[in-house]
Amino acid sequence: MARRQSVLSDNAETARTQILAAADNAVERFGIVKTTIDDVARETGVSRPTIYRYFRDRDTLITALIEARARRLFRDAHAYVAHLGSFSEQLVDGLLYLVDRGRRDAAIRLIVSPEHVGRSTALEGSSELAARLTFEMWAPLIEAARARGEIREGITDAEICTWITLVELILVGRMDFGDPMGETNRNLLTKLLLPGIVTGVTSTAS
C-alpha cells in the first residue's frame, strides 16, 4: 500500500495531536491490542522512526491515546451532570455514565480490564494512570461540593478519588454486570459509596 503524503505540522504539539488522531483511526480499524506502530505510521503518512520522534514506544503512544479519549469522555460527563443540583446526584449519575461509556471503549478498558492483567497487552503503570485520570475528572466537582458544604470532614480529595477509582475499576473491568446504568448499580452506589463521602447520607438511603 502506498504511503500517504505526510501532513505533520512543524509544531511538535500539533504533530503529536495529528499522530494521536491517526492512532485513533488505526485502533478503530484493527483494535487496540493489534494496532502497531507501523499501522499508526501508515495511517499518519510518515515513517516508523518519525513516530518515535514524538512517542518513545507503543505504550507511550497508547497511553497518550487513552488520556485523549478519557478527556473527551470527561467533557461529555461534565456536560451530562452539569444540570444536577447536588454532588450526590453528580457522583452517582456521573460514575454510571462513565462506566457505561468507558466499558465500550477498548482503549480505556485496556487500563482497567482484568483480561489484560499480567499479559503483554497490559500497560505499565496503568493503575496509576487510572487514578490520575479519575482525579482529573472529579477534583473540580469535589471542590465545588466542598464549597457547598456537601463533603464530609476529615477526608481529602485524593482519598475520595482513590475510592472512586477502585469502584470504577470494578464496574468498568467486569463485563458481566449487565446494564451499568440500571437500578442495581445505582442503589449500591447510593447506599455504599455516598455515605463515606457526602454529608447527610447514611447507608440506609434508598
155-176 confidence digits (pLDDT tens): 999 999 999 988 887 777 665 5
**Cβ contact 124:59 at 8 Å:** yes
| 81 & 21 share domain | no
Q: How far apart, in whole angstroms, are the C-alpha atoms of residue 159 and residue 166?
A: 11
Q: What CA–CA distance (Å, rounded) separates 154 from 151?
A: 9
CB 102 within 8 A of CB 108: yes
Does residue 180 lie within any of the structural domains? yes
Contact 83, 186 (CB under 8 A): no
| CATH assignment at residue 4 | 1.10.10.60
| CB neighbour class for 91 (10 Å; exposed up to 12, middle 13-18, buried from 19) | buried
**Structural domain of 38:** 1-55
Cell triple for 165: 477509582
So what's the pLDDT on residue 176?
55
Q: Answer yes or no: do 39 and 72 share one domain.
A: no
**Residues forming beta bridges with residue 151, ordered by sequence position:** 198
Domain boundary among 55, 80, 96: 55
* Sign of the torsion angle spanned by Cα atoms 109, 52, 38, 25: positive
Give the count of domains, the chain. Answer: 2
Query: Do 40 and 122 lie in a common domain?
Result: no
Window from 107-111, 138-142, 156-160 with minimum mean pLDDT = 107-111
Q: Tell me, yes or no, whether 152 lies in a domain.
A: yes
Is residue 120 one of the residues assigned to a domain? Answer: yes
* Residues 65, 23 contacting (CB under 8 angstroms): yes
What average pLDDT does the structure give for the chain?
83
